[in-house]
Copies of this chain bind each other. A is one copy, B any other.
Amino acid sequence: MTLTAASIEAGYGLSRERLLQIEYHLRLTRSLEERIVSLFRQSKVIGGIYRSLGQEGESVACATALDFAQGDIVSPLIRNMGSLLVAGARPVEILRQYMAKGNSLSRGRELNIHIKDFARGFMGPVSPLGAMIPVMAGVTLAGRMQGKNMVGMVHIGDGGASTGAFAEGPNFATVMKLPLVIVLENNGYAYSTPTVKQTLATRLADRALGVGATGETVDGNDVLATYAAAKRAVDRARGGGGVTLLEVVTFRMKGHAEHDNQSYVPKELIEEWKQKDPVDRYERAILESGVATADDLASIQASVKHELDEAVDEAERSLAPIAEDAARGVYHGDGFWDEPR
């Protein structure tokens, strides 16, 4: 079946404008990470980098299925920078985090994408894997109490799904019929551990069965299919249909962090997944369907480059935090968080 702009619009409910928006977010994610890597090499990034190369598709697709205007909130993991960008986090905000600047959203206290802004609809994770599932259950519980029509979306990895914190969340959220979408990213590895050593389950979405949630598995490198599955889950949640555990199958194309050369990953596997690159596939799809021209893509890339040039400049110009501030803002009442930075 050949796609056309009209068939995509009909099948996925995505206008040309939104399709180009997706392309923009895909490119923005990929390019921003590349910038971070080069800043890292210049010793301008504090701490590690956790790449989402080859997984940008699912982050962007899933977050695109949310309706932030309705108060939806996404809680990404470290490899979901794309979700943050879709929710409206600005590249400079992410760069300031990586560079531990005093005017970063966490004011230099926290790493990479550990940032939150409910007004825009995002909350970064804490490091202990699994914890954000219960937390996002609470976010959606509160949303319901407050009469909001919001949906929560929370990401977890194939590895993180082995934690007890993760496990309590879906059961709890499901029995309370909360409007929560849990995106389980099966990207083949958790650090050096392949999924087959993480669990004997053949389909991670089957965990939904054991708690009475809806489970679905989708090719996470197929942006449109992932969007469609995420949209179904979001609609189900908003419609009172409860929790969906959406397994997106993808692949971590880089090591766990920058220093890890992923020597433990068979070369052929990397080659194989390179062919399935979500950005390439998506671009082919929108080109072939006539949604976009090569010029459109070039102009998106140019504007991404321009945006990131400015963002990097702005981030580099940002000041380091004031040492004495380390003592403040632990508890309410000292005014720290009310002061501008």
Task: Give A residues with C-beta under 8 Å from B.
Answer: 130, 162-168, 171-172, 174-175, 197-202, 204, 206-213, 242
Contacts and interface: CB of A to CB of B under 8 A. Distances in A.
Given A206-B209, A210-B210, A197 B175 contact: yes
A208 B208 CA distance: 11
Top 8 A-B residue pairs of the complex, sorted by shortest distance between their CB atoms: A164-B164, A200-B212, A167-B167, A207-B210, A201-B212, A206-B209, A206-B210, A164-B168
A158 to B, nearest CB: 11
A171 B162 contact: yes
A198 B162 CA distance: 21
A163 B164 contact: yes
A120 B199 CA distance: 32
A203 B245 CA distance: 18
A297 to B, nearest CB: 40
Contacts of A209: 201, 206-207, 209-210
Nearest to A204: B210
A200 B207 CA distance: 13
A212 B171 CA distance: 18
Contact of A162 (B165, B172, B197, B207): B172
A165 B204 CA distance: 19
B162 A164 contact: no
A9 B202 CA distance: 38
B200 A175 contact: yes
Contact of A212 (B164, B202, B208): B202
Contacts of A201: 171, 209-212
Max chain B CB contacts within 10 Å: which of A163, A168, A201, A210?
A210
A197 B159 CA distance: 28
Contacts of A212: 199-202
Nearest to A210: B207
